[in-house]
Amino acid sequence: MRPRLFDYFSDYNGHAFLRDLLAGITVAIVALPLAIGFGIASGVTPAQGIWTAIIGGFLISAFGGSRVQIGGPTGAFVPIIAGIVAAQGYGGLALATLMAGAMLIAMGALRLGALIKYIPYPVIAGFTSGIAVIIFVGQLRELLGLRGALPVNALQQIGVLVRHVNQTQWQALVVGLVTIAAMVFWPRRWRAVPPAILALIGLTIVAHALAFPIETIGSRFGGIPQGFPGLQIPAISFARIQTLVLPAFTIAMLGAIESLLSAMVADGMIGRRHDSNQELIGQGLANLVSPLCGGIAATGAIARTATNVRSGGRTPVAGMVHSITLLLIVLLAAPLARFIPLATFSGVLMVVAWRMGEWHNFGIMARGPRGDFWVLLVTFALTVAFGLTVAVGLGLLIAAALFVRQMEAVTQIHLVTAESDLEVGGESVRGKKIPPGVLVYRFEGPLFFGVAEKLEAALERSGATPPVVIFRMRNVPAIDATGLRVLNLVREKFRSCGTRMVFSGMQPQPMKVLFEGGFVDAVGLENICANIDAALERARAMLAS
């Protein structure tokens, strides 16, 4: 595994650099208000959001496994980071982010990148939409110009906002609504000028000229410091690590999911494939370094990555240029940021939240399998009501239970005869002579803990104790430990009544499990036959002996 950056220097030329340069500058302009806004929404300062985009974004591009990934703070982290900051302060967040970075590097080194693909899509869509609601609700305070802190929980926030809606500051509401209108209705043919930047600059000038009495970056945070941040090492203790293990794991898993989803989207846009394990290592490095410089958690950002691709970026150089451009903005223009109204960021983030939500999936999944739809609804509702950790945990549990139920429905065990076998082809027993005293069972689907009782029930329904039983296993792709145990119980039961077992058409995974579990030694390798004809011949030999 190595960063994709090293793959491009052999044929990299001036034309490619110019294309990456323009794309990187464009993405930086788009990322600036988002980095500031996500920093504010996460309960930290605007400067911490920007430095996350600068440092985290640079390391993700330089050491990640995607050609075009753009990293930085994202909306998915907002409720997690805000909750940690509220409970543990920034020091707790920094330590949790460091721990998450180490987890991500370990995941990449252990080549676990492919495992993220197995998280069910209804769970991902559910918590993504739930996070969108949390971000949207969290921005209503700034949109309405209300003062005072809000609870962390989105439902409690709604209650507080309803009670204080009569204190709405009309100037802040106008600024926020105009920002939303600019984001939504800005003509597509003029998208070369990002509407968020246009609204931010224009409304800052208007609000300052008219002396609107609304909160700005300067009034709440004192502005954005001009210069480099100092080294910040969080206090580390075993007790604190124990407290932050679960939040750190949540940051790591969410960062892995979002970054790999973003990389997959980018792959579809550029026709190339990313290295998922190297991408996790790059994400881990970014989250190890970012908190040491006062930043927060970083991951791949789908919207910014798509903007990079559409702007012509094709190598990690574009992402590095994006970070360097943001650095120059901080070093040269940071003092001007103190005039920016906070309501403009609320408008930007509310539009981002709306576009982030997977709202179309509710209609699509409502017309699909009911189980998937309920997983989506439960994960969405739990994310809004109780947070991401509870929602993803229970969502995965429900999805796993539904999967087991579906696999159980797929797996069937039938007693077949020369007249009743519906299968066609060489493995069918239709028309073949089955010796008297031999029963043939056809297995369909995986033999695992969810279907163990079906085997016992099928054997009981036959009501006979034949000399030989043939198990046709050609359509059994997998056996787990419970399936192996059930086969051993059946073998013991058959041995006590003098019935012998023959298997036909065993696939590689079941054969491996039966070998390693000692089952093949117990029944005899000669009783594991390649096909049904060989199994019938073996049964005749047993009867003759």
Question: Which amino acid is residue 472, in one-letter code?
Answer: R
User: Hey, what are 123's tokens?
Assistant: 């769970």
Cβ(138)–Cβ(41) below 8 Å: yes
pLDDT of residue 14: 86
Pair of tokens at residue 404 = 């087991």
- What per-residue confidence (pLDDT) applies to 9? 66
What pLDDT, on the 0 to 100 scale, is given for residue 482? 84
Task: At 82, list the tokens.
Answer: 């805000």
Low-confidence ranges of the chain (pLDDT < 70): 1-5, 8-10, 422-427, 450-452, 462-464
Q: Which residues of 464-473 are buried (b: 16+ CB within 10 A; e: fewer)?
A: eebbbbbbbb
Residue 486 neighbours by CB under 8 Å, 6+ apart? 447, 452, 455, 456
pLDDT for res 137: 94
* CB 168, CB 146: distance < 8 Å: yes
**Residue 323: per-residue pLDDT:** 97
Which pLDDT does position 4 carry in this prediction? 62
Q: Facing residues of 413 across strands?
A: 443
Domains in the chain and their CATH numbers? 15-144+152-212+228-357+364-400 (no CATH), 412-544 (3.30.750.24)
Question: What DSSP element (H or E) covers 394?
Answer: helix 388-410
With beta carbons less than 8 A apart as the criterion, state whether 463 and 474 touch: no
pLDDT on residue 497: 86
Contact, 105 vs 288, CB < 8 A? yes
Give 171's strand partners.
none
Q: Considering all CA atoms of the chain, what is the largest pairwise distance in Å, rounded to the nearest integer?
A: 104
Distances, alpha carbon 351 to alpha carbons 45, 48, 324, 383, in Å: 21, 22, 26, 20
Question: pLDDT of 453-466, one tens digit each?
Answer: 777 777 777 666 78
Q: How far is CA 503 from CA 154, 468, 500, in A?
A: 58, 11, 10
Contact assessment for residue 72 and residue 30, using Cβ atoms and an 8 Å cutoff: no
Catalogue the long-range contacts made by 529-532 (C-beta closer than 8 Å, 24 or more residues apart).
Answer: 529/502, 529/503, 529/504, 529/505, 530/504, 530/505, 531/426, 531/427, 531/504, 531/505, 532/426, 532/427, 532/428, 532/429, 532/432, 532/440, 532/470, 532/472, 532/504, 532/505
